[in-house]
Amino acid sequence: MIDVQPSKKEVQEVSSIAKEIISKIKIKDAKAVLGGSGAKNTWLPGKKEIDIYVKFNYKKYKDKSDKLSELVYPKIKKTFKKVQKLHGSRDYFQVFKDNFTIEIIPILDIKKADEAKNITDISQLHVDYVKKHAKLANEIRLAKTFAKAQEVYGAESYIRGFSGYVLELLVINYGGFKKLVNTASKWKELTVIGKKEDVANLNYSKKVSPLILIDPVQSSRNAAAALSDEMYNKFIGVCKNYSKKASDDYFHPKKHSFKSDHNSILLEVKPKSGKQDVVGAKLLKAFEHIKRKLEENDFKIKDSKWHWNKIALFSYELESSILDEFKEVKGPPVNLQHHLKEFEKKHGKIYTKNGFAYAKVRRNFTHARNLIKSIVFERDILDRVSKISLN
């Protein structure tokens, strides 16, 4: 089985940086602690991100939940050279050290989920729950590595896959990585994990995902609510294949190959800067906008895909990149004289076939590349990417 444990050097480096950052955050009635996968000990080798929770005294700040970010910002602004504010359900911050991105997240120090004033307040409870199952840490790492390699990892809106926390809960629920994979390979159209009464009490909007996974620290929440049917079914498929023939290959990212021939469109896209989830969502919308424009202009798409790693690649494989100058447009039945006259008025010369009127209409674009050159200057594209070029 593949080794998924961070090296001793990595562990020491992360620990040292976290301790240094924590020691510099001094706020009255608040305590900075290591959070996220770092605190759970479920982080993967090579990860350059560290979460720090700034936990505010619950009694003193439960009625000032919306002020926590304002209390943190001026303190860390004085301490760190570069601080980036990110907007979320509650604003949080990024600082940088030795190629690491450290996220500083203000939360209330709660003991139970119903004390939370903001969704981020639950974060520490998630940490505490996973830490109770410390013996499964490497099993969780296997699941995360597997999901990443199979490109079903991440709950961001442009991915809608399995979040790290969902994978942690699944491994804990089934008791290990292999047990998860073997069970998931048999999942049906809908999988429900949790007490019946908790599932019944969920809001309808939290039941639409193919996997309903009751959060053990917050029974009113489906932890897998963001999961799409596509990612769910893809995960089942790869689990089936792995169950039949296990291989370390499943833990290594696939090399992406994009066709580059006369019937394929390959675009190189430089994304805008910003929060990863927001940038990714913009890239996805740009990708889908181009796809829609190709289809609206009669270019039939056999396959389309995109991949993002610093620079994004958009690929559209067409049945043909060149179309006839004219296309046939079907009109009304010939016995509907009023509609027939309107059709003739609009298109000029018409002809009949099988009881219907038809006309030949000149296409705006007969070459897909010319259409693409026009699309990339549209506002819907320029608002979402920094630069886009046709290979």
* Total tally of structural domains belonging to the chain: 4
Q: Looking at 73, 88, 119, which one is the last position of a domain?
A: 119
**pLDDT tens per residue across span 233-252:** 999 999 999 999 999 999 99
162/240 same-domain check: yes
pLDDT at 114 over 70: yes
- pLDDT higher than 80, residue 259: no
Amino acid (one-letter) located at 267: L
Give the CATH number of the domain where residue 171 resides.
1.10.1410.30
Mark whether 24 and 85 lie in a shared domain: yes
In this predicted structure, what is the pLDDT of residue 1?
66
Let me know whether 94 and 158 are in one domain: no
Q: What is the b/e burial string over 28-58, where b = at least 16 CB atoms within 10 angstroms of the residue's CB? A: eebebbbbbbbbbbbbbeebeebbbbbbbeb
DSSP state for residue 326 in the 8-state scheme: E
Q: Are residues 358 and 370 in the same domain?
A: no
pLDDT digits (tens, 9 = 90+) for 10-69: 999 999 999 999 999 999 999 999 999 999 999 999 999 999 999 999 999 999 999 999
Let me know if residue 234 belongs to a domain. yes
Long-range contacts of 72-76 (CB under 8 A, 24+ apart): 72/25, 72/27, 72/30, 72/104, 72/106, 75/25, 75/26, 75/27, 76/24, 76/25, 76/104
The alpha-helical segments, DSSP class H, found in the chain are 8-24, 36-40, 58-61, 68-79, 123-131, 137-149, 164-174, 177-184, 196-200, 229-244, 276-296, 337-347, 368-375, 379-382
Q: How confident is the model at residue 88 (pLDDT cuts 50, 70, 90)?
A: confident
pLDDT, position 295: 97
The answer on 184 and 296 residing in a single domain is no
Two tokens at 389? 């070029």
Whether residue 344 lies inside any domain: the answer is yes
Q: What angle do CA 20, 42, 191 make, to 5 degrees?
A: 145
Give the residue numbers spanning the domain of 73. 8-119
Q: Are residues 74 and 187 in the same domain?
A: no
Residues 83/76, Cβ–Cβ less than 8 Å: yes
Residues 51 and 111 grouped into a single domain: yes
Query: Which of 84, 119, 154 finishes a domain?
Result: 119
Q: Provide the CATH number for the domain around residue 32.
A: 3.30.460.10
Q: Has residue 280 been placed in a domain?
A: yes
Q: Is residue 152 in some structural domain?
A: yes
pLDDT of residue 256: 81
Residue 1 maps to a domain: no
| Selection from 133, 113, 138 nearest residue 124 by Cα | 113
303 pLDDT higher than 90: yes
Residue with tokens 């159209």, as numbered in its chain: 189
If you count them, how many residues does the chain have?
391
Mean pLDDT in residue range 213-226:
96
Same domain for 93 and 201? no
Task: Supply the mean pLDDT for the chain.
Answer: 94
182-203 confidence digits (pLDDT tens): 999 999 999 999 999 999 999 9
**Same-domain status, 207 and 318:** no
Give the whole-number percent of the chain exceeding pLDDT 90. 90
The CATH number of whichever domain residue 333 belongs to comes to 3.30.70
Position 127 in a domain: no
Residue 308 lies in a domain: yes
Instruction: Tell whether 343 is covered by a domain.
Output: yes
Q: Same domain for 245 and 169?
A: yes
CATH code at position 379? 3.30.70.590
**Last residue within a domain, chosen from 90, 119, 148:** 119
Asked if 41 and 134 touch (Cβ cutoff 8 Å), the reply is: yes
Region 159-179 average pLDDT: 97
**274 and 377 both lie in a single domain:** yes
- Whether residues 168 and 50 share a domain: the answer is no
22 Cβ contact partners less than 8 Å away, ≥ 6 residues apart? 32, 33, 34, 52
Residue 77: is it exposed, middle or buried by C-beta count within 10 angstroms (0-12/13-18/19+)?
middle
DSSP-derived pairing of the beta strands 92-97 and 84-86: antiparallel
